[in-house]
A and B are shown apart, each in its own frame.
Chain A
């Protein structure tokens, strides 16, 4: 495990979030972008949030689709309401991780990053949000494991 600087596990088990205002604004904007997917049937990120369970079947079981939407929405809502919190419990940290991961894959779909070569062909500026999200996810995963 490497030392994390953005998320710190406290002795009482809570996870301290050491993001400054700019960092929290960035995270808030990402969670809000994810929330917006719910209201738009043809949103560009739709296929990340609602990917097929069995691609060989024309239609997924609607009960599973509803269950997935319910859990994904709950995670995003929880992440958004805790975005200004100084400390997160484990459930909130997982909600952040799931939501940030959805955002990362949504952006990668939007930017058509389907392979390592696609990523390598992009400029640092184009990959800025991707790199920030990867760093947040990397550190969050590390601290959740600790």
Chain B
């Protein structure tokens, strides 16, 4: 009985600790920036290829870039964000990463 209680207590503590860790760890955003020369359809197919997004989602993100000057196209772990950013660069888009505040 005692052992069971201890086990439950440990499990709960782990869950709380994990929630705290998730809550305090800010994700990294991959940002695509607007430029006045890149055709819209080029941005869409690059986003579709790299992130496997639907045409609708890629088009919506492209319009955000066009209208607001930038769009967060992906959020998550830093390493993955860097890898995506490098892929965007090799496809010729203006992109960078930033940590969510």
Contacts and interface: CB of A to CB of B under 8 A. Distances in A.
Interface of A: 48, 51-56, 61, 64, 67-68, 71-72, 75, 94, 97-102, 104-105, 107-108, 113-116, 118-119, 130, 134, 137-138, 141-142, 144-145
A141 B41 contact: yes
A98 B91 contact: yes
A98 B90 contact: yes
Q: State the majority secondary structure of interface residues on B.
A: mixed
Contacts of B41: 138, 141-142, 145
10 contacts: A51-B96, A54-B82, A72-B89, A72-B90, A94-B49, A98-B92, A99-B92, A115-B36, A138-B42, A145-B41
Interface string B26-56: 0000000001111101101100010000000
Contacts of A61: 82
Interface size class on chain B is: 20 to 34
Interface of B: 35-39, 41-42, 44-45, 49, 82-83, 85-86, 89-99
Nearest to A61: B82
Given A53-B85, A138-B42, A144-B45, A104 B36 contact: no
A64 B79 CA distance: 10
Nearest to A49: B89
Contact of A68 (B38, B45, B86): B86
Given A67-B86, A107-B37, A137-B38, 20 more contacts: A51-B89, A51-B94, A51-B96, A53-B82, A53-B89, A53-B97, A56-B98, A72-B90, A101-B38, A102-B92, A104-B92, A108-B35, A108-B36, A130-B37, A138-B39, A141-B39, A141-B45, A142-B41, A144-B45, A145-B41
Contacts of A142: 41
Given A52-B96, A54-B98, A105 B91 contact: no
A125 B91 CA distance: 27
Contacts of B39: 134, 137-138, 141
A123 B12 CA distance: 68
Contact of A134 (B37, B91, B93, B98): B37
Contact of A105 (B35, B85, B98, B99): B35
